[in-house]
């Protein structure tokens, strides 16, 4: 093991110890800050419950991601292919983006109940707007020269859009996917906290109302795991696609 | 721009027209989707209802206080980090980590620590607004071309003049964007906190209507909040554009 | 034997409420297998004329014909194009880029690979078949674009200032190599450029276009024997021709 890693581990261990002391000594109330030992105990005691909740949340997020990506990208590609439609639609999407979508959740709750469906629908809504917007921008940013080239070789509209425009717009689209997916994750977890039958948000909320701070922190740690995990995966994707975006603009005249 | 206006009008027509049609042709249960006129009437009633106005004022106050505390803090932090880049090297990873983390998830902890009153809402709002404004302010400071500052110094500008004549105009557009995003996030944070656990406030009202299936009131509330936030957003965006255009033309001269 | 016939071509379009006359009564013909260049001041409508000849836009009056057929839409199997920007697809290798128009036509993979490898060899890039556009210099990318323009074996190649973005030395080299390619393939080339030197060096005939509204104000036959050495550029007769064209262009319009 590298010295650098050992050092990080030692610092982490020291931090945990300090954290434990701060709570045990009464410096910070155990209701506000759970000691690492409390979190560990909570995990041991109700690990199965949390696991089930974790799986529910991850499933809801997964489904919402697939739908939001598909709808957002398709919508963005179609709208983006026309200058006029894009010019009329993008501002509308921006305006809607400014509305705190969370206030729509009670409506979804009333219409669709408090089960996974309302969470998935909300997640899709949360992710759709940024993805659609960045896709539109990405498509419009494609150099006109490529469109002229496509026409000169007799490519149909469909071929031009799928084989030329879409790959060219991909780096911008992926950047939007990062933002949008982050919003999907938050959206699902937060709505689970507001009103749900299951899922991480629900479990966190439940234990908060009982002041089981250890459980709350454990739940939050799992939620953070999901959020950061998704973010990391998308950053990887962004970087890989971004690589050849940078190359696209690399000038090397020799 | 004409297209943007047309787009908004078409969207509004589709939304409200579709709504009306769905009601007329009873495509949806009347209890799930009440007629638009009814909802508008209720909305109108809200604006004359003392209790409702009270809740609206409370929410607005929470947002305003949170924003007015977060904004100057964030701008000065951003400025400080931008000026002292060694500090930035230490804090930037922290800031980016925080931004990657969805702050809304920490709501239960805020409630455990601060209860469900005014203070908790304001603090929650502050955390939402602070980081995004910070990032934008930092970007604003670091975007100033050093050549510009050097040139000003050569022409004998004093420290104050450099700050007001060069830094400020150059930073303003980015800072304004950060402020607008910060405002949006602040509103989202406060509303979420109210919906989750609160005794009063618009968020509480809206969530309550949802829980008790009072759909007409719920729709009226959603409509009102949507309109208000769009107005705030557009107003701030117009300010951004105005300033950007002004300083672009000034920079050209 | 004229392969291209342009008769009384005129093009008007609206710009900000006013009518702009881009081309006015353009008439000329191009014999098969010739290298013809069009020169003229900036903004005189050269690119518009090329677009009409390529079938990318329509004329307001008059017509353009290839082998007797009116040109109303792109004819990829008869007319190939090379633009100022190579517009290569960044995620495809050089070979794949050259193959692209043929792949769209569902030409058999083995046949098109063979043909396109030959084309890359023709433009001197056989070692770079698997390289990506970002790994190639500007001049090399343009060579790939030329190979791509030849992929469908068109009778006519239209070139819109293809070397304008390259620095002078490369540009001269490319011109020389283009002549070799032209001599080996026997295509008809219609070439647009700003550079009088390039025009005279490369072509059999130079068409001189007036300022907007563009019309042909001069047709010069270039007699230098082929294959042409770069040395002729410094010769006296070259300079005389250059002066003639320069005077034609700079004469005030009546």
pTM: 0.84
Domain boundaries, chain A: 39-248
- B130: preceding bond cis by omega (within 30 degrees): no
If we measure between CA atoms, which residue out of C205, C187, C180, C175 comes closest to residue C149?
C187
- B245: preceding bond cis by omega (within 30 degrees): no
Kindly tell me if the per-residue pLDDT of B252 is higher than 60: no
The answer to whether residues B69 and B127 touch, using CB atoms and an 8 Å cutoff, is no
Dihedrals φ, ψ of B6, to 5°?
-60, -45
Q: What is the DSSP letter of A2?
A: -
CA angle B194, B200, B202 (to 5 degrees): 60
Chain A residue numbers with beta carbons less than 8 Å from the beta carbon of C157 are none
> What whole-number distance in Å separates Cα of residue B140 and Cα of residue B136?
6
Superfamily of domain A39-248: MetI-like (1.10.3720.10)
CA distances from C62 to C14, C25, C87 (A): 18, 8, 31
pLDDT at B87: 75
Please state the length of chain B. Answer: 253
Q: Does the distance separating the beta carbons of A252 and C137 come in below 8 Å?
A: yes
Chain B residue numbers with beta carbons less than 8 Å from the beta carbon of A106 are 195, 206-207, 209-211, 218
Q: Does the distance separating the beta carbons of B206 and A31 come in below 8 Å?
A: no
Which domains occur in chain C, in start order?
Answer: 2-78+155-250 (3.40.50.300), 87-153 (no CATH)
Tokens of A43: 């995990």
Tokens of A203: 């479990």
Per residue in C130-140, pLDDT (tens digit) is: 999 989 998 99
User: H helices of chain C, where?
Assistant: 46-53, 94-104, 109-122, 138-150, 168-185, 196-202, 236-250
In this structure, the strands spanning C156-160 and C188-193 are: parallel
Tokens of A117: 């469906």
Per residue in C121-162, pLDDT (tens digit) is: 999 999 999 999 989 998 999 999 999 999 999 999 999 999
> What whole-number distance in Å separates Cα of residue B223 and Cα of residue A176?
27
Q: What is the ipTM of this complex?
A: 0.89
Q: Which residues contact C228 (CB under 8 A, 6 or more apart)?
A: C179, C201
B210 touches chain A (CB under 8 A): yes
Per residue in B43-60, pLDDT (tens digit) is: 999 999 989 999 999 999
Substitution target from B15, B43, B104, B195 for chain A, most A beta carbons within 10 A: B195
Per residue in B4-43, pLDDT (tens digit) is: 888 888 998 999 988 888 888 877 777 788 888 899 999 9
3-class DSSP state of B135: helix
Chain B residue numbers with beta carbons less than 8 Å from the beta carbon of A190 are 102, 104-105, 107, 192
B211 touches chain A (CB under 8 A): yes
Per residue in B123-147, pLDDT (tens digit) is: 999 999 999 999 898 888 888 887 8
In this structure, the strands spanning C61-66 and C2-15 are: antiparallel
If we measure between CA atoms, which residue out of A132, A147, A161, A158 comes closest to residue A74?
A132
CA angle A99, A102, A103 (to 5 degrees): 75
Per residue in B140-182, pLDDT (tens digit) is: 888 888 787 788 778 777 777 777 777 777 888 889 999 999 9
The three-state DSSP-derived secondary structure of C2-63 is EEEEEEEEEEEEEECCEEEEEEEEEEEEEECCCEEEEECCCCCCHHHHHHHHCCCCCCCEEE
Per residue in C2-35, pLDDT (tens digit) is: 888 888 888 888 877 888 888 888 999 999 999 9
């Amino acid at each position: 093991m590298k010295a650098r890693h050992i050092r990080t581990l030692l610092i982490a261990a020291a931090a945990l110890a300090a954290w434990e002391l701060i709570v045990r000594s009464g410096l910070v109330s155990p209701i506000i800050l759970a000691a690492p030992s409390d979190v560990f105990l909570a995990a041991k005691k109700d690990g199965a419950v949390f696991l089930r909740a974790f799986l529910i949340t991850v499933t809801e997020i997964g489904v919402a991601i697939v739908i939001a990506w598909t709808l957002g990208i398709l919508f963005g590609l179609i709208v983006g292919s026309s200058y006029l439609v894009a010019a009329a639609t993008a501002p509308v999407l921006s305006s809607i983006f400014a509305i705190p979508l969370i206030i729509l959740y009670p409506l979804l709750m009333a219409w669709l109940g408090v089960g996974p469906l309302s969470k998935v629908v909300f997640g899709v809504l949360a992710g759709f707007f940024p993805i659609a917007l960045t896709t539109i921008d990405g498509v419009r940013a494609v150099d006109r020269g490529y469109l002229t080239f496509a026409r000169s070789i007799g490519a149909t509209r469909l071929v031009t859009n799928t084989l030329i425009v879409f790959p060219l717009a991909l780096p911008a689209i992926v950047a939007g996917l990062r933002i949008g997916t982050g919003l999907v994750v938050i959206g699902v977890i937060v709505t689970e906290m507001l009103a749900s039958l299951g899922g991480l948000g629900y479990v966190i909320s439940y234990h908060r109302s009982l002041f089981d701070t250890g459980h709350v922190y454990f739940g939050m740690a799992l939620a953070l795991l999901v959020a950061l995990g998704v973010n990391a995966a998308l950053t990887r994707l962004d970087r890989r696609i971004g690589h050849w975006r940078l190359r696209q603009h690399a000038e090397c005249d020799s | 721009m004409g297209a943007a206006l047309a787009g908004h009008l078409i969207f509004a027509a589709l939304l409200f027209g579709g709504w009306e049609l769905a009601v007329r042709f009873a495509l949806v249960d009347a209890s799930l989707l009440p007629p638009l006129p009814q909802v508008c009437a209720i909305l109108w009633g809200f604006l004359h209802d003392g209790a409702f106005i009270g809740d609206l004022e409370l929410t607005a106050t929470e947002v305003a206080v949170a924003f007015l505390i977060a904004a100057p803090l964030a701008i000065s932090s951003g400025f400080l980090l931008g000026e002292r880049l060694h500090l930035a090297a230490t804090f930037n990873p922290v800031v980016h980590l925080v931004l990657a983390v969805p702050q809304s998830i920490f709501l239960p902890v805020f409630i455990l620590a601060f209860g469900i009153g005014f203070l908790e809402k304001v603090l929650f709002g502050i955390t939402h607004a602070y980081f995004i404004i910070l990032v934008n302010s930092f970007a604003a400071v670091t975007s100033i071309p050093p050549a510009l500052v050097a040139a000003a110094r050569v022409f004998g500008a004093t420290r104050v003049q450099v700050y007001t004549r060069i830094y400020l105009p150059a930073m303003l557009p980015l800072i304004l964007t950060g402020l607008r995003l910060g405002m949006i996030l602040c509103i989202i944070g406060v509303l979420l906190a109210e919906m989750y656990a609160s005794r009063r406030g618009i968020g509480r009202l809206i969530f309550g209507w949802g829980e008790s299936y009072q759909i007409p009131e719920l729709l009226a509330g959603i409509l009102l909040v949507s309109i208000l936030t769009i107005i705030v957003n557009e107003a701030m965006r117009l300010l951004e554009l105005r300033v950007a255009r002004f300083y672009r033309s000034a920079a050209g001269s | 034997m004229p392969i291209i016939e342009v008769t009384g071509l005129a093009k008007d379009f609206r710009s900000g409420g006013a009518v702009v006359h881009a081309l006015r009564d353009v008439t000329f013909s191009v014999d098969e297998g010739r290298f013809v260049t069009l020169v003229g001041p900036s903004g005189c409508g050269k690119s518009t004329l090329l677009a009409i000849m390529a079938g990318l836009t329509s004329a307001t009056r008059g017509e353009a014909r290839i082998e007797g057929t009116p040109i109303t839409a792109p004819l990829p199997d008869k007319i190939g194009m090379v633009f100022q920007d190579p517009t290569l697809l960044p995620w495809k290798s050089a070979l794949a880029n050259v193959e692209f128009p043929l792949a769209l036509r569902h030409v058999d993979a083995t046949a098109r690979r063979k043909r396109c490898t030959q084309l890359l060899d023709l433009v001197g890039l056989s070692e770079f078949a698997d390289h990506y556009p970002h790994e190639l210099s500007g001049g090399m990318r343009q060579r790939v674009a030329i190979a791509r323009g030849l992929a469908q074996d068109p009778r006519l190649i239209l070139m819109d200032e293809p070397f304008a973005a390259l620095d002078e030395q490369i540009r001269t080299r490319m011109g020389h190599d283009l002549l070799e390619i032209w001599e080996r393939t026997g295509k008809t080339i219609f070439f647009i450029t700003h550079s009088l030197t390039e025009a005279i060096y490369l072509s059999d005939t130079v068409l001189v276009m007036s300022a907007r509204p563009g019309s042909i104000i001069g047709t010069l036959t270039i007699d230098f024997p082929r294959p042409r050495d770069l040395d002729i550029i410094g010769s006296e007769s070259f300079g005389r021709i250059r002066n003639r064209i320069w005077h034609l262009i700079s004469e005030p319009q009546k």
